[in-house]
């Protein structure tokens, strides 16, 4: 029997959180195209409760989330030492999430508290790595505005908040992707939320998952710095058997709907920040890749440029993915733990059989 590699097409469980059925991304039944401009807090509420909040609920929920965007002084002190280590930011985040699980107060399995602390910790890692002071959230602002301020040190314009809000909404969840499934496996053991999130961060770090956005921008930088023709670069990489990051998706064969939305944001912010050359380069590669392979850009392709235009170092791009995806991870952890079923699949053994220890030792 031929087994599907990577569980491709295998339905392992049911969920009410999000779906990619028929290559259409929906959150609790709502198409992502209709949610792209919804407030991030509203989308988080939807993912956690599978319904939209009332106006009063949304106002209270936003206030609650922002109130949790604070870290104890002792946690910041320990993070300062960790973040200074010459490791990849995702390795620092992995250790930080585990740290939060040991230094946090007694209400550890509290999604609003955890999301607020995750966003603040990710912003703090960026600031500490840049030798900048850790900022503090403003209770009068929303989650996205605060998050940009926390990692950049500057209050963003309403237009920039709207752009980044859409980025966070589009990344908030995506069914049983690798990191989410990892979180659910750990959650099925009844482990605490921070253990589940630590595992999810580890899965997201890989270049075939969340790490792809960093690789995309590295490709763009390499092409510009070497002056190589984009088509020549693509041909050379493919001739060496290397993937062109940011293209293709196991589910979206005719194009990632998130990439379509992000492309316009990338075009706009690239123009506003004098990064038109990068966007033009992306368009050249996009057209050639479709001509050569019929592959479309995925969510990582344009996100890479957007993050760069927000002044972020490419090594922090995957952490930004984690900041957005934490909302979905928490929804899935909660759903899986409520299900109360241990995830324990079987495998097909294809190794040698009928071996005997003593006989083999005598032959040696």
The residues that are catalytic are: 249, 300
Query: Which positions ≥6 away from 352 have C-beta within 8 Å?
Result: none
Sign of CA dihedral 44, 49, 55, 60: negative
**Taking a C-beta distance cutoff of 8 angstroms, is the pair 306, 269 a contact?**
yes
Interatomic CA distance for residues 332 and 187, integer angstroms = 9
3-state secondary structure of 247: strand
**Taking a C-beta distance cutoff of 8 angstroms, is the pair 83, 125 a contact?**
yes
State the DSSP H helix or E strand holding residue 56, giving kind and residue range, or none if neither: helix 55-67
**Taking a C-beta distance cutoff of 8 angstroms, is the pair 285, 234 a contact?**
yes
Residue keyed to tokens 């899935």: 332
Virtual CA dihedral for 288, 291, 292, 296, nearest 10 degrees? 80
In order of 99, 127, 159, the CA distances from 74 in angstroms are 11, 17, 35
Tokens of 267: 């075009």
Residues in the chain: 364
234-254 CB burial, b ≥16 within 10 A, e <16: beeeeeeeeebbbbbbebbee
61 class by beta-carbon count within 10 Å (0-12 exposed, 13-18 middle, 19+ buried): buried
């Amino acid at each position: 029997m031929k087994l599907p590699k990577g569980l491709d097409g295998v339905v392992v469980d049911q969920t009410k959180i999000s779906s990619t059925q028929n290559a259409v991304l929906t959150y609790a039944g709502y198409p992502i195209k209709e949610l792209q401009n919804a407030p991030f807090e509203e989308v988080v509420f939807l993912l956690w409760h599978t319904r939209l909040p009332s106006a009063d609920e949304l106002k209270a929920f936003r206030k609650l989330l922002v109130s949790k965007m604070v870290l104890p002084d002792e946690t910041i002190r320990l993070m300062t030492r960790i973040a200074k280590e010459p490791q990849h930011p995702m390795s620092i985040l992995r250790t930080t999430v585990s740290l939060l699980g040991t230094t946090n107060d007694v209400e550890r399995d509290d999604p609003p508290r955890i999301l607020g602390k995750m966003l603040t910790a990710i912003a703090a890692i960026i600031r500490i790595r840049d030798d900048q002071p850790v900022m503090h959230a403003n209770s009068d602002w929303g989650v996205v505005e605060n998050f940009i301020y926390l990692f950049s040190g500057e209050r963003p314009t309403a237009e920039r908040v709207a752009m980044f809000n859409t980025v966070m909404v589009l990344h908030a969840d995506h069914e049983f992707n690798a990191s989410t499934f990892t979180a659910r496996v750990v959650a099925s053991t009844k482990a605490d939320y921070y253990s589940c999130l630590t595992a999810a961060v580890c899965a997201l770090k890989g270049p075939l998952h969340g790490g792809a956005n960093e690789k995309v921008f590295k490709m763009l930088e390499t092409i510009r710095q070497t002056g190589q023709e984009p088509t020549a670069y693509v041909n050379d990489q493919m001739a060496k058997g290397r993937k062109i990051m940011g293209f293709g998706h196991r589910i979206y064969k005719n194009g990632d709907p998130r990439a379509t939305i992000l492309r316009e944001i990338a075009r706009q912010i690239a123009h506003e920040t004098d990064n038109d050359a990068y966007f033009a380069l992306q368009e050249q590669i996009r057209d050639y890749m479709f001509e050569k392979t019929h592959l479309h850009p995925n969510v990582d392709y344009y996100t890479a440029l957007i993050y760069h235009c927000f002044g972020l170092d490419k090594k922090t791009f995957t952490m930004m993915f984690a900041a957005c995806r934490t909302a979905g991870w928490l929804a899935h952890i909660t759903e899986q733990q409520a299900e109360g079923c241990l995830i324990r699949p079987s495998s097909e053994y294809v190794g040698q059989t009928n071996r005997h220890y003593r006989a083999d030792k005598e032959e040696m």
